[in-house]
Each structure stands twice: as structure tokens, then as C-alpha cells.
Structure 1
Amino acid sequence: MNTTVKDTILGETIILFQQEGIEAFSEDELRQKLDISQATFNELFSSKANLVRQTLLFDIEKQQKYQKELVKDAKSAIEEILLMIQNGIKNMKATNPAYILDLQQHYPEVWQIALDHLNTHSYHQIYDILNRGVQGGEFRKDLNLQLVTKIMLEMVGLLLNPQVFPPERYSLSEVYRSIYLYYIRGICTENGAKNADNFFAKYSV
């Protein structure tokens, strides 16, 4: 099977999942939506759970490439991290909360992959940005980088916990904004805060 064909299928599947949730579709309904035969499905995926797993891995890789492109022209560490937060808010607005809930409740092994990615790739990514920001005088020099990075990652778990922020009661994008943007400003130096203000003047977050 052509890799491009498989990538196209995975790209269409992640859109379906993030718009409607995973459990909104049976395996047969997914095949119909994706316009692929049973034979093609069986050739590419051993089960619906395997499709979910491959789709998440595909999305992680896509997001990593996009983030590199997103921040390549950032003029400062504060702009870099705020661009990533802005992108996170946009993704949150576009994602049906059912997608996260379905991963957590029905595909815990796949959800663990997402958490592991958060605690490895995302940890180092945030740590490196914060470290550059400290060296550049944008973030306070008294920061405990390991602790602040851990806090920022734990905020993700807090945000995605439906028992803390039930999606029917709270806008996840507003929770995301409230958790992150105010925290980031609190760890800025005066110079960093000015850079943050300049960012908000240029971009709608």
C-alpha cells in the first residue's frame, strides 16, 4: 500500500475523530466515511484500536513538524512559547471534547502514548525554551526550570481532566487561556512582559 494513501487515510481519520469523537463511529461506519474497502482496512489496520493508535502517532508527528515551522521565525523565547500556546488554544477550540474523553475511557493504551509524548518530547521542548528565555533575560533568573516545566505539563493534565473542568460547563479554550497565559506572564521579567505585550498587540490569542 502506498505510504501516501495511508497518510491520506490517517489525515482524514484524525479530522473525523477530532470533530465527532472516536466512538461516534463503528468500524463499518469509519470505512464508509473514509471510502475504503474491508480488504484495504484489514491490510492497513489490525483493528479499530490499531487505527486509533496509528492516527494518534500520525497526528503527533504532524504536530511536531508544524511546531518547528511555527516557531522558526520567532524573535524571542517568549514569542516562541506564546506562539505554541496560541496554537494550543486554536487546536483546543477545533477539537470536540469527546475525542479526549474517548481516548481516556476507551483507548487507555493510546492515551498513555499521548501522555508519554507530553512527558518526553514536550518536556524537553518547554524546558529548552524556558532556559533560553532565562539566558535572554525574558524569564526570571530564579526560576527552577525543572519545576516550572513540570508545572506547565501538569497543567495540561488538569485542563484535560473532565472531573475538574467538565466540558459541558467550561470552554476548554478559555480554561487553557486562563491557566497558561497568566502563568507565563507571572514568570516574566519586566523585559519579558514587554515582549509578551508586544506579542498580544500583534496576535489575537
Structure 2
Amino acid sequence: MKDQILDKATDMFLTLGFKSVTMDDIASEMGISKKTIYQHFANKDELVKATTTNLYENISCGIDEIILADKNPIEELFAIKEFVMKNLKNENTSPIYQLHKYYPKIHKSLMIKQFDKMGTCVIKNLEKGIHLDLFRKEINKELIARFYFAGMNSIKDPEIFSPEKFSIKEVQTNYLEYHLRGICTPKGVIKLEQLININNN
């Protein structure tokens, strides 16, 4: 039952937002009593923490599988973007922003884990791209990894990127292209534009 509650809560939080969904909503959706939820999770904060931890672990495992597929580094970043967006339901209601606003301690803990994971992945991606002459050799890998992490988190802010004006997919795709055009060699740009043309058709 605990795993079922976790799955349903994750789905509802990502669809409607961490603040918007109540324990009553989850109980009603599952056809169980709120008391049943409290047998497994002492309060909503504990449930939110459990769902974000579970989600982080699932996404981390999925990213590891994409990296193991040994795609070229440009394709790898596009594949990771698609995978993350699918698992976060395209973040149409900006649940991560709600998490930051209403559950700051949980959000900060998640950001630390994400930074460790993403920093390592991005640096390995950059090293692979440099080795294949797709990324410029002179780039500062540590700095670029931080730029990328900071940007990926900033574009989730609906006050800056209003969902009414920009779709999440549009923002994510343009940000990834922006990142890659800044680090690609001429050879890398050709690969990037081929991939963009494939995705647009």
C-alpha cells in the first residue's frame, strides 16, 4: 500500500502541484481513508519528501541507462531532456517551483543531490564531446557544468518563463540548443543541426 500511495501522490503532485494537492485529495483519488495514508506517512511534508526522493532515484537510474547506451554527446543530451520531461509530465504546472516556494528545505536537499548528479554527468558529457571533436577543447568544463545546472533550474521559474507565453517543451529545447551552440565545434554544429531537423520533422 505504501508504494501505491507513493505512486499516486507522485502522479498527482506532478500533474497539479505540490501545494495544490491535499492528503484528502490523494485519499479520495485512491478510494481509501486519509488514516490509511497516515499509517505510512506521518504528514504531508514526509510524503512530499518521499515522492521527491523516489522521483529523483527513478530519473537518475534512467539517465544512467541513457549514458550507458553510448550515444554521441549531443544525442545524449537530447535523449536525457526527453526522458526527464516525460517523467516530470513536462512540468506544465511547474511543480518544482511550487516545491521551492512551499517546501524550501526539501527543495534544497533535492537541489544538492541534483547538482552532484548533474554536475558529474555534464562534465563526462563535455569530456566525451571534446574527445570526439564535437565540443571546443578550450571550454572550462567545471564552469560550463555550473552554467548548465543554473540555467536548467532558472527556466523552471514560471514568473520568468510564463507557461501561458512559452510552452515548457519550447523553453527546454531552446535552452538545450543555446547551451550546445555555445560549446560546439563546427563539426558539432553540423551534428546539432541534423538532430534539430530530425526532431522538427
TM-score interval (norm. to shorter)? 0.7 to 0.9
Aligned residue type for 1:35: G
Deviations 1:9-45 (A, max 9, x none): 2122111111111233322222121333344312211
Unaligned 5+ segments in structure 1 are none
The alignment-based identity, stated in percent, is 25
Q: Which runs of 4+ in 1 moved over 6 A?
A: none
Distance 1:181 1:104 in 2: 26
Partner residue, 1:45: 41
Query: In 1, are the aligned partners of 2:100 and 2:107 still within 8 Å (CA)?
Result: yes
Q: Paired residues, what number?
A: 201
Distance 1:44 1:104 in 2: 24
Seen in structure 2, the aligned counterparts of structure 1 residues 58 and 204 have a Cα distance that, compared at 3 Å, is farther
Partner residue, 1:70: 66
Give matches, 1:20-35, under 5 Å: 20-35=16-31
TM-score by length of structure 1 reads 0.85
Distance 1:58 1:188 in 2: 34
Deviations 1:42-90 (A, max 9, x none): 2211101110110000000111122222343243122212211333454
Q: RMSD over aligned Cα, in angstroms?
A: 2.3
Seen in structure 2, the aligned counterparts of structure 1 residues 169 and 59 have a Cα distance that, compared at 3 Å, is same
Query: In 1, are the aligned partners of 2:73 and 2:125 still within 8 Å (CA)?
Result: yes
Distance 2:86 2:60 in 1: 16
Unaligned 5+ segments in structure 2 are none
Seen in structure 2, the aligned counterparts of structure 1 residues 93 and 63 have a Cα distance that, compared at 3 Å, is closer
Question: Which structure is richer in relative contact order (CA contacts within 8 A, separation 6 or more)?
Answer: 1
Pick from 165, 168, 171 the counterpart of residue 164 of structure 2. 168
1:149 and 2:145 are equivalent in the alignment: yes
